[in-house]
Amino acid sequence: MSNRFLQKGQHSLIAQAQDLSSCNTLRLQCQAEQVVDLQSLEQMNELGRELVRAPECLVLGGGSNVILPITLSSLVVRVALKGIELVESTADHWLIDVAAGENWHDWVVTATARGWWGLENLALIPGTVGAAPVQNIGAYGVELCQRLESVTAWHVAAQKYVTLSRAECDFGYRDSIFKRAKRGEWLIVSVRFALPKAWQPVLTYPDLAGHPQLALVSQAVTAQAVLEAVCDIRRRKLPDPAVLGNAGSFFKNPVVSALQYQALQARFAKLVAYPQPEGSFKLAAGWLIEYCGFKGLRSGAVGVHAQQALVLVNYGHAQADELLAFASTIREAVQKTFGVLLEIEPVVV
Ligand SMILES: Cc1cc2nc3c(=O)[nH]c(=O)nc-3n(C[C@H](O)[C@H](O)[C@H](O)COP(=O)(O)OP(=O)(O)OC[C@H]3O[C@@H](n4cnc5c(N)ncnc54)[C@H](O)[C@@H]3O)c2cc1C
């Protein structure tokens, strides 16, 4: 099925049916009926007019944080907007605009090489720049919101661009206004970064602080050395989606009150948890799953990774239903054992 959305001749954008099985890192089987590739802002103006008539449109970046269904009839917009521009050099910061379709890791490598430091802890996270604010990506002690000035997005209902400040994005742990919005409400076109001129390495994670590459240079740690150490740790710890389908952490680490944490700790002495600034505790979801006996367990075409209990994997030709049924089994076991409900991190489409 082709040209169902925008007709050839009248428009430059043409919707085509497409197999998205290799466009999501979980490698779930998915046939989409209408897919358009957005490559320029001129096309965005044209697409913007049409999107109001495309309910539940799915904006797709690198597909590394989505659980796609076997068939998708709603319009899919694949964002391929490119560009990196230094817009201002203030006394304290470099302000840089990056288009939504840029590859996240490539951008981190570019920024580090140009002396725009502060993103190195977020190296090797798969996906696009435009998706990064959606779940406020974070790793090794740094969250995107600490380095972001604003986000410019097309608001579908209002049919116009809106620039949202960091505060307006309402970021939280793996959360933002974009993640909570109804599907297809926002299409992020660019992100403005504010990278500090007075750079300090963030080495709060023991894995990173103790990495030989950093320990060797101890006093003179560079952003490049941090980037390389992060890549090294991630390559050793996480399965490569090109080899084994996965979406990174499948569940969020649940946050519980101090009271609930103490009650759990009294029952499970080895419970792994991280105190939060406001007094609550973030439990390591991977530990809860491992305790329930799921680490390395396989069920049909899906399973829990043998080294990382937080990562669910697709061994072959799995579909979303099979993966979600397996995830439900894990959630039920964790809830029964600990009284804690795990929340799925990727977006279930
Ligand atoms: C091996 C692996 C490791 C990972 N490690 C981490 C990690 O350390 N930290 C972390 O936070 N995440 C991690 N992730 C998750 C994932 O990489 C991030 O969430 C990433 O930002 C998703 O980018 P994407 O382009 O693939 O988004 P997609 O999966 O394509 O989309 C994710 C969501 O964002 C929306 N979206 C995408 N682009 C846009 C846009 N331009 N405008 C509006 N909405 C949009 C989609 O509609 C969807 O709801 C990991 C994933 C994998 C596979």
Q: What is the pLDDT along the chain (349 residues), one digit of tens a residue?
A: 343 445 444 556 888 999 999 999 999 999 999 999 999 998 988 899 889 888 789 999 999 999 999 999 999 999 999 999 999 999 999 999 999 999 999 999 999 999 999 999 999 999 999 999 999 999 999 999 999 999 999 999 999 999 999 999 999 999 999 999 999 999 999 999 999 999 999 998 888 988 988 876 666 899 999 999 999 999 999 999 999 999 999 999 999 999 999 999 999 999 999 998 889 999 999 999 999 999 999 999 999 999 999 999 999 989 999 999 999 999 999 999 999 999 999 999 9
pTM to 2 decimals? 0.94
**CB of 156 closer than 6 A to ligand 1?**
no
Residue 11's pLDDT is what? 56
Within the chain, where are the H helices? Answer: 41-51, 104-113, 166-169, 177-180, 206-209, 212-215, 223-237, 258-267, 285-291, 320-338
The answer to whether 255 touches 282, Cβ cutoff 8 Å, is yes
Nearest of 140, 146, 137, 139 to residue 178 by alpha carbon: 137
Residue 214's pLDDT is what? 85
Residue of 174, 176, 185, 192 with catalytic role: 174
**CB of 121 closer than 6 A to ligand 1?**
no
Rounded Cα distance, 171 and 174, in Å: 8
Rounded Cα distance, 201 and 209, in Å: 10
Cα of 111 vs its chain's centroid, Å: 19
Rounded Cα distance, 196 and 199, in Å: 6
DSSP 219: G
| Residue 65 alpha carbon to ligand 1 centre in Å | 4
- Show the domains of the chain with their CATH numbers: 16-79 (3.30.43.10), 84-237 (3.30.465.10), 245-348 (3.90.78.10)
- Which ligand 1 atom is nearest residue 65's CA? 29
What is the strand order of the sheet 281-283 is part of? 255-256, 281-283, 273-275
Rounded Cα distance, 169 and 70, in Å: 31
